[in-house]
Amino acid sequence: MHTADVVLIGGGIVGSSIAYHLVAAGCKNVLVIERETAQGKGSTGKSMGGVRAQFSTPVNIQMSLYSIPFYASFEERLGHPCDYRPQGYLFCATTEKHMAYLRANYEKQIAMGLKNVRLVAGDEIRSMFPLLRGDDIVGGSFCSTDGFVDPYSAMIGFMTWASDHGATLWKNAGVNAITCKGGGYEIATTRGTVCTRTVVNCAGAWAAPIAKMVGIDLPVEPLRRMLVPTEPFDLFPHTAPMIIDMSSGFHFRPEGRGFLLAWNDPEETPGYKTDFEAGFIEKILTRAADRVPVFENVAVNPKRAWAGLYEMTPDHHPILGESPEVPGFFFANGFSGHGVMHSPATGKILSDLILTGKTDLIDASLLNFSRFADGRMIHETAVL
Ligand SMILES: Cc1cc2nc3c(=O)[nH]c(=O)nc-3n(C[C@H](O)[C@H](O)[C@H](O)COP(=O)(O)OP(=O)(O)OC[C@H]3O[C@@H](n4cnc5c(N)ncnc54)[C@H](O)[C@@H]3O)c2cc1C
């Protein structure tokens, strides 16, 4: 039977980053188990690739303060590109309430040590992007080190480095059962059984069924998100940041020769739905043309649009660390749509907790599983 010091269930960007951080810290006998024939078929390959430090809670800001510089130096560290493009995130407020919210977040971000964030006046936004409909924009916030990465490339970079330095990746290996045995675990997969003392649930939107295998009810729900890429379009500058219209939630960023359009339909309900709904195109284009009038004539090929799953928790924060009831079983779940941008910090935190029982990166008790039972939820409102 195969044995490993640490078994990571799920070979998306989170499992790959944890593998990298464990191996880099000297723990080499790491096995990553992925049920698909290739990595990236879960949420990682569907992501918009946005990375930002403009959050509303200190712990999310801290996770970004580790992760974004990590992405900036990714190629140096791992010898593989992640295509970090620091083009920024620009939040556009259309009400004083939104502006007060951005101001309060800005104060927290500065207090936590974020350097490149600033509040911007409505006039400045209008002169930066004259093609945005700006009549109702009262101001905004902009952080120049926010931007985008290529999630697939980052995931492969993490896993390749980890494999080159000792870790093993099993593809085409679905986990079917986890049995507690002699203080450890026997994990039954479609490729055979593996024994370990430490298991990490990195199964993304499928985290709850994995937790159920050891009797845990994990509050992580799948929620569909759809993205629409445009055909090549050069009437709006490709140097643009991620631009967020706070009045509708519509946001977009340059991608290739076109743009990637996103809007989270508030009518979406939880479930494993990964089909793209054709009716979404009209809904999103209406919002796009409302904020960016030149988008009225943008071409979209519905066959290139796609859907994927967010992994939502009740307070929109991840669940990180060891289960209080099942020793040796760790969570790295529930990123609520921020798993790409926070995967470097997650890898470091999980590696610290597994190898030393503590971490300096965040106060890990804030994100542990017990917070739900203890009534210590911390709400993140800056979810896109
Ligand atoms: C449309 C969309 C846009 C997004 N935009 C952003 C963004 O801009 N920025 C950002 O940071 N995040 C974004 N996200 C969220 C981000 O993609 C996720 O948070 C992140 O990819 C989660 O990574 P993961 O490794 O936990 O999950 P995944 O990539 O889903 O990996 C989990 C893996 O577990 C495997 N697995 C599941 N069950 C089993 C089993 N029984 N046995 C073996 N393997 C199993 C799956 O096959 C999968 O490969 C977006 C998501 C979507 C859908």
211 and 232 share a domain?
no
72 lies in a domain? no
62 lies in a domain? no
Query: Which residues share a beta bridge with 32?
Result: 8, 169
166 and 301 share a domain?
no
> Could you read off the pLDDT of 12-36 as tens digits, one per residue?
999 999 999 999 999 999 999 999 9
Total domains, the chain: 2
227 and 267 share a domain?
yes
Per-residue pLDDT averaged across 298-320, rounded? Answer: 96
Question: From the CA of 123, how far away is ligand 1's center (Å)?
Answer: 38
| Boundary-marking domain end, from 287, 312, 337 | 312
336 and 294 share a domain?
no
What residues contact residue 24 under an 8 Å CB cut-off, 6+ apart?
161, 165, 351
Residues of the chain with pLDDT > 90, as a percent, come to 96
> Could you read off the pLDDT of 203-236 as tens digits, one per residue?
999 999 999 999 999 999 999 999 999 999 999 9
Question: From the CA of 105, how far away is ligand 1's center (Å)?
Answer: 27
Lining ligand 1 with CB less than 6 A are 9-15, 33-36, 41-44, 46-50, 174-175, 202-206, 210, 225, 227, 308-311, 335, 337-341
214 lies in a domain? yes
41 and 173 share a domain?
yes
Among 17, 18, 48, say which to mutate for ligand 1: greatest number of ligand atoms within 8 Å of CB: 48
Q: Is the pLDDT of residue 384 over 90?
A: no
pLDDT score recorded for residue 75? 98
Residue 170 sits in a domain whose CATH number is 3.50.50.60
What residues contact residue 182 under an 8 Å CB cut-off, 6+ apart?
none
Q: State how far the Cα of 372 lies from the Cα of 250, in Å rounded to an integer.
A: 31
55 lies in a domain? no
pLDDT score recorded for residue 383? 66
pLDDT score recorded for residue 365? 97
Which amino acid residue places its CA nearest to atom 50 of ligand 1? 47
90 and 238 share a domain?
yes
DSSP state letter for 113: T
pLDDT score recorded for residue 379? 78
68 lies in a domain? no
Residue 131 sits in a domain whose CATH number is 3.30.9.10
215 and 324 share a domain?
yes
Q: Is the pLDDT of residue 54 over 70?
A: yes
300 lies in a domain? yes
pLDDT score recorded for residue 129? 97
54 lies in a domain? no
| Boundary-marking domain end, from 291, 312, 333 | 312
Q: Is the pLDDT of residue 380 over 80?
A: no
256 and 243 share a domain?
yes
| Boundary-marking domain end, from 293, 312, 331 | 312
Among 17, 21, 47, say which to mutate for ligand 1: greatest number of ligand atoms within 8 Å of CB: 47
132 and 269 share a domain?
yes
Question: From the CA of 381, how far away is ligand 1's center (Å)?
Answer: 21
Residue the block writes with tokens 């971000």: 109
pLDDT score recorded for residue 266? 93
From the number of C-beta atoms within 10 Å of its C-beta (0-12, 13-18, 19+), residue 61 rates as buried
> Could you read off the pLDDT of 365-375 as tens digits, one per residue?
999 999 999 99
What's the alpha-carbon Rg for the chain, to the nearest Å?
A: 21
Q: What is the extent of the structural domain holding 342?
A: 2-49+151-219+314-374
Higher pLDDT, 378 or 106: 106
205 and 226 share a domain?
no
pLDDT score recorded for residue 381? 72
> Could you read off the pLDDT of 347-366 as tens digits, one per residue?
999 999 999 999 999 999 99
Which amino acid residue places its CA nearest to atom 31 of ligand 1? 12
Q: Are 165 and 80 in contact (CB under 8 A)?
A: no
> Could you read off the pLDDT of 56-67 as tens digits, one per residue?
999 999 999 999
Which amino acid residue places its CA nearest to atom 9 of ligand 1? 50
pLDDT score recorded for residue 382? 66
Secondary element (H or E) of residue 123: helix 122-128
158 and 302 share a domain?
no
330 and 185 share a domain?
yes
